[in-house]
Amino acid sequence: MIRFEDVSVTYDGADAPTVSGVELAVPEGELVLLVGPSGVGKSTLLGTVSGLVPHFTGGTLRGRVTVAGRDTRTHKPRELADVVGTVGQDPLSHFVTDTVEDELAYGMESLGLAPDVMRRRVEETLDLLGLADLRDRPIATLSGGQQQRVAIGSVLTPHPRVLVLDEPTSALDPAAAEEVLAVLQRLVHDLGTTVLMAEHRLERVVQYADQVVLLPGPGQAPVLGSPAEIMAVSPVFPPVVGLGRLAGWSPLPLTVRDARRRAAGLRERLAGVAVPAVEGAAVGRAASRAEGATSRGVGTADRTEGAASPGEGVAAGQSALSVGADSLDGPVRPPGGRGLSGPVTEHTPRRRFSLRRLKPRPTPPATAADAPVTGPHDHTGSGPHDHTGSSTGTRNTVTPVTPVATAASLGVHRGRIEALRQVDLTVSAGETIALMGRNGAGKSTLLSAFVGLVQPSSGSVRVSGAVPHRTAPRELIRRVGLVPQEPRDLLYADTVTGECAAADTDAGAAPGTCRALVEELLPGIADATHPRDLSEGQRLALALAVVLTARPPLLLLDEPTRGLDYAAKARLVSVLRGLAADGHAIVLATHDVELAAELAHRVVILAEGEVVADGPTEEVVVSSPSFAPQIGKVLAPLPWLTVGQVRTALEAGA
Ligand SMILES: Nc1ncnc2c1ncn2[C@@H]1O[C@H](COP(=O)(O)OP(=O)(O)OP(=O)(O)O)[C@@H](O)[C@H]1O
Ligand SMILES: Nc1ncnc2c1ncn2[C@@H]1O[C@H](COP(=O)(O)OP(=O)(O)OP(=O)(O)O)[C@@H](O)[C@H]1O
């Protein structure tokens, strides 16, 4: 159904082809998964199928790509729209209408389908993807995951024979991701739809694939095989595969169920063994409760109505951080739009989070009443917390501590939606909190409240003593930094070099600080590249580096692993652990249960705008079918969470 014949793509100005020598056939009615490190060319390859590469991206395509016999170089994306449906990594930039229902109908309208067929398919799709309650909503007001569901729905309604999906579950909560994958599998099995999908969170998808295509490195020819064959050799693999490799299981397990069947012996071996260091959470929780109690009701009820802020969401997924930490390498990214070359409308001007442009001076004032309560640059060890670095490579210990940020009985309205209700949360210096919960639960809203992008409608929020929405950006930036769900909102220079130079200046950091951070997170990004042309993972690494350059006492990350391969995530984990050990407080909104297991001292789960769980990571996630990491499920009821912990124990002779 899709055929690549000696395909190579060279972007304008690039020294070498991004992908080359691609010879592949994707049979009709199969789900083929495209995997490989960040920036290796996955999105580029997907773009050649939808025609976005090179029609929209520029560059030179050599060889031939055909879909259902149509050459994508001689057919414009519009002329392929009846056969191929494409979901790119950034749905928002490709929506063409304003409301959910209109968006679901748009593709069918373009193809001239009868109104009754359109109506029926819109209803089916609303149900299939859990969008019925959102049908009349303006798309610009949806959370990130809600938008991703609409983007997927909008390509399903025309019933294309081929679906090209770039990280389609990256913003979805774990349960929603499973639902979407089940829908795709049904289309493949029942309707013979052909699906080509790139995804980093292999723990979510590998079991659905008929075949896997691995792009091992930039410019290297792809390797095709069954999921088990490829997972045996791939540099990117999910935690169960990591566990299987560690335990020497053959064949390798691809699912939690496979692994559980093999794990009886391992469970026995680990039963009496102390789980390698996973500390800090209990302290964080105790601190938060105490603080919540004292600060409740302190805040003024600043009324806001529908503050225009990015309708963000949080990326989905899980990953094998501990596995990647020592065995993986490479980068990743997403392709473009929907394959329909209709007008791209900017619905509501998205407010850009522009704090970093305001020339911050990150050194916290020592005396002001609202000065940051922690000194993140204090390496003397005399601070209020004890950085007992764990030798096991898991979490650092946090001792009771000064709050860096608090929300007390916080309520936030976004338009008519009550996005947060009675939220009490205290974030302490040195602790890392994973904020989890289903799409639309209010995670991004809470992060936005900490940076003053939305205002409380009741209760209060404080960051280092300051009221965020009443604090001038140049002051606030000394206290808090946010990496938004869409990293491009933070980037404005023409090159990676320019972006980094601006970040160094803004942060008052030594020249080269930001660039070194980029290299640490994701090596190999070219200096002269326009941030727009970076792969998704590369862009995220750049945005993270920009914010980290200022070393804010409170660091907020909204789904920080989209587009990142396991190795890049492992590097991110190590950077964030270092920051936490230096006394920075970190809050990450994430659907990546593996990331939370690896990094967070404490997990806070939001549901319908309320906190429904708050506790040490292992306590909160192990008992949860949605939020438990793969290793947690395999070894349950033992409270082990990561491959790294198991490796440490086995190496120590368990
Ligand atoms: N600008 C807005 N106007 C109206 N409603 C909004 C706006 N932004 C978000 N919402 C709604 O507020 C609720 C919380 O959204 P939020 O983005 O905080 O969720 P989230 O937990 O981050 O979700 P996701 O996991 O999908 O990113 C959702 O129901 C969302 O549709
Ligand atoms: N339009 C473009 N112009 C120039 N270079 C580009 C363009 N698009 C992508 N690139 C470069 O091509 C390489 C491959 O990018 P691509 O997005 O295909 O990778 P990917 O494997 O999908 O990455 P990720 O997993 O991070 O999404 C990257 O180095 C990127 O910087």
Ligand 2: centre distance to CA 42 (Å): 8
Query: Residue 584: pLDDT above 50?
Result: yes
Nearest CA to ligand 1 atom 29: 440
Q: Which of 190-199, 216-225, 540-549, 634-643 has the highest mean pLDDT?
A: 190-199
Q: What is the pLDDT of residues 54-91, one digit of tens each?
A: 888 888 999 999 999 999 988 888 888 889 999 988 77
The residue behind tokens 């959470």 is 281
Quick one: pLDDT at residue 467? 95
Is the residue at 469 inside a domain? yes
pLDDT score for 97? 92
CA 126 to chain centre: 24
User: Under 8 Å CB-to-CB from 190, ≥6 apart: which residues?
Assistant: none
DSSP 8-state symbol, 459: E
Let me know whether 84 and 212 are in one domain: yes
- Does the CB atom of residue 91 touch ligand 2 within 6 A? no
Taking each helix axis as running N to C, give the angle between helix 100-110 and helix 115-128, from 0 to 180 degrees, rounded to the nearest 10. Answer: 130
Assess if residue 428 is contained within a domain.
yes
Radius of gyration of the chain (CA): 24
Ligand nearest to the CA of 173: 1
In a domain, 24, yes or no: yes
Instruction: Tell me the per-residue pLDDT of 465-497, one tens digit each, with 9 for 90 and over.
Output: 999 999 988 788 778 999 988 888 889 899 999
Q: Which of 90-104, 504-518, 544-558 has the lowest mean pLDDT?
A: 90-104
Mean pLDDT confidence for 377-391: 33
pLDDT at residue number 401: 60
- 123-149 in b/e form (b: 16+ CB < 10 A) is eebbebbbbeebeebbbbbbbbbbbbb
> What DSSP element (H or E) covers 296?
none
Q: What is the distance in A from the centroid of ligand 2 to the CA of 95?
A: 21
Task: Indicate which ligand has the atom closest to the C-alpha of 564.
Answer: 2
Select from 623, 620, 560 the least CA-distant residue to 595.
560
485 falls within a domain = yes
Task: Give a yes or no: residue 266 inside a domain.
Answer: no
Same domain, 293 and 226: no
Pocket mutation for ligand 2, best pick of 19, 197, 535, 564 (most atoms within 8 Å of C-beta): 535
Lowest mean pLDDT among 225-229, 425-429, 615-619: 615-619
Evaluated on CA atoms 175, 177, 178, 180, the torsion sign reads: positive
Q: What is the mean pLDDT of residues 446-453?
A: 95
Q: Based on the domain organization, do 96 and 211 belong to the same domain? A: yes
Q: Lowest mean pLDDT: which of 32-46, 50-64, 190-204, 350-364?
A: 350-364
Question: Judging by beta carbons within 10 Å of its beta carbon (0-12, 13-18, 19+), is residue 284 exposed, middle or buried?
Answer: buried
Prior bond of 637 cis (ω within 30°): yes
Do residues 338 and 611 make contact, with C-beta atoms less than 8 angstroms apart? no
- With pLDDT > 70 as the criterion, what percentage of the chain qualifies? 81
The answer on pLDDT for 525 being more than 50 is yes
Which amino acid, residue 4?
A: F
Angle between helices 536-549 and 566-581 (to 10 degrees): 10
Q: Which of 200-209, 257-266, 301-310, 601-610 has the lowest mean pLDDT?
A: 301-310
- In DSSP notation, 328-373 reads ---B-------S--------SPPPP--GGGS----SPPSSSTT--S
Would you state the torsion angle of the CA atoms of residues 630, 634, 639, 642, taken in this order, to the nearest 10 degrees? Answer: -40
pLDDT, greater one: 100 or 82: 100
Q: Whose CA is nearest to atom 6 of ligand 1?
A: 141
46 SS3 class: helix
Same domain, yes or no: 392 and 493: yes
Nearest to 512 by CA among 503, 521, 523: 503
Ligand 1 pocket (Cβ < 6 Å) reads 141-146, 171, 173, 306, 311-314, 414-415, 417, 419, 437, 439-445, 589
- 218 with 123, same domain: the answer is yes
Nearest CA to ligand 1 atom 3: 141
pTM over 0.90: no
* ipTM, interface predicted TM-score of the complex: 0.94
Say if residue 327's pLDDT is above 50. Answer: no
Note whether 6 and 96 are same-domain residues.
yes
In terms of domains, do 486 and 581 share one? Answer: yes
Residue 645 reports pLDDT greater than 50: yes
Q: What pLDDT sits at residue 82? A: 87
Same domain, 474 and 605: yes
Looking at per-residue confidence, does 458 or 73 come out higher?
Answer: 458
Q: Regarding predicted confidence, which is higher, 19 or 387? A: 19
pLDDT in tens, 536-560: 888 888 998 999 888 899 999 999 8
Q: What is the DSSP string of 122-135?
A: HHHHHHHTT-GGGT
Q: Is the domain of 225 the same as that of 290?
A: no
- How far is Cα 333 from Cα 393, in angstroms, rounded to an integer? 28
- Cα–Cα dist 138/142, whole Å: 7
Torsion, Cα of 236, 171, 87, 31 (10° steps): 50
* Ligand 2 centroid, distance to 500 Cα (angstroms): 19
pLDDT band of residue 324 (cuts 50, 70, 90) is very low
Give the count of domains, the chain. 2
CATH assignment of the domain containing 192: 3.40.50.300
Q: Which domain holds residue 192?
A: 2-199+202-237
Same domain, 51 and 185: yes
Is residue 477 located within the same domain as residue 357? yes
Residue 108 C-alpha to ligand 2 middle, in angstroms?
Answer: 30
The pLDDT assigned to 56 comes to 86
Highest mean pLDDT among 264-278, 331-345, 549-563: 549-563
The SS3 call for residue 67 is: strand
39-48, 92-101, 272-281, 635-644 — which is least confidently predicted? 272-281
Sign of CA dihedral 446, 450, 456, 462: positive
Average pLDDT of the chain is: 80
The two tokens of residue 298 are 């302190």
336 occurs within a structural domain: no
Residue 610 located in a structural domain: yes
Lowest mean pLDDT among 156-165, 347-356, 512-521, 591-600: 347-356
Strand ranges across the sheet with 223-225: 84-87, 162-166, 194-198, 31-35, 211-214, 223-225
Q: What is the pLDDT of residue 155?
A: 93
Quick one: 530 and 608 in the same domain? yes
Asked whether the predicted pLDDT for residue 313 surpasses 60, the reply is: no
